[in-house]
Amino acid sequence: MSKITSFSLLECKREGKKFTALTAYDASFANAFDSEGIDVLLVGDSMGMVLQGHDDTLPVSIADIAYHTRCVRRGVKRSLLIADMPFMSYATIEQAMTNAAILMQAGANMVKVEGGHWLLETVTKLTERGIPVCAHLGLTPQSVHLFGGFKIQGRDDDNAQRILTEAKALEAAGVQLLVVECIPAQLAKTISETLTIPVIGIGAGADTDGQILVMHDVLGISSGYIPRFSKNYLKQTGEIHEAIRAYKDEVEKGIFPSSEHTFN
């Protein structure tokens, strides 16, 4: 199978084909996901919670992400590999340049940043220097304390319009992918239909171009809180590879996420 690129995902969007993404943190799981045809793997700062046992993602460092990116890279042959820029690693353009370079040199094909208008110049500078960028809007976990917890975003008209406006501005600045998290399904649909670039949803309904979940949620091994938008495919199938195939199949057929995994 040919390698997945941002242009592959753009072609999927143009053809109306759903694509799949999962988080990954080591070579073995990355190889399993890659071999089952998962299109995008994210070395997420979610590792702060699911690997390190923290209450949020804020303690994760660039060194953490770079280490796990190198591990995941060794297990990947086909999937597009995105690495998260962790909390305060891109607060200035200079920081963003230095830290994005570290992650690209570790094996990432793209870096992901959380935020809207304040990131526009940073996105432009990164893309000018050959670093592809994925943006993240809606519930941005690095801002959890600003939000007062892990809460749905964009439910009122003003915030919905702000998120849409920021999505369009980020695309204009050069972002190649956008993740939208925990927003109403109708807003996610509007964003996906408005933007030319592919939109990946998590807790954002079935009308985005792709879906992503945290691997620990898909396999039912997360400790503590299980998000409403996730689904335990290992419980459904009983075997890891079958679980990944079931997730991929349900996303591509539009079965997942269903109404029970969606916010209105």
Burial 193-223, CB ≥16 within 10 A → b, else e: eebebbbbbbbbbbbbbbbbbbbbbbbeebe
User: CA-to-CA distance for 259 and 264, rounded, in angstroms?
Assistant: 9
Of 59, 78, 57, 42, give the one whose Cα is nearest residue 202: 42
Q: How far does Cα 250 stand from its chain's mean position?
A: 18
User: CA-to-CA distance for 16 and 252, rounded, in angstroms?
Assistant: 10
Contact 120, 80 (CB under 8 A): no
Contact 38, 21 (CB under 8 A): yes
Going by the DSSP 8-state scheme, the letter that residue 84 receives in this structure is: E
Catalytic residue from among 36, 166, 181, 250: 181
- 67 CB burial (10 A radius; 0-12, 13-18, 19+): middle
Active site residue 36: no
Q: How far does Cα 187 stand from its chain's mean position?
A: 17
Of 8, 2, 47, 58, give the one whose Cα is nearest residue 24: 47
Residues with a known catalytic role: 181
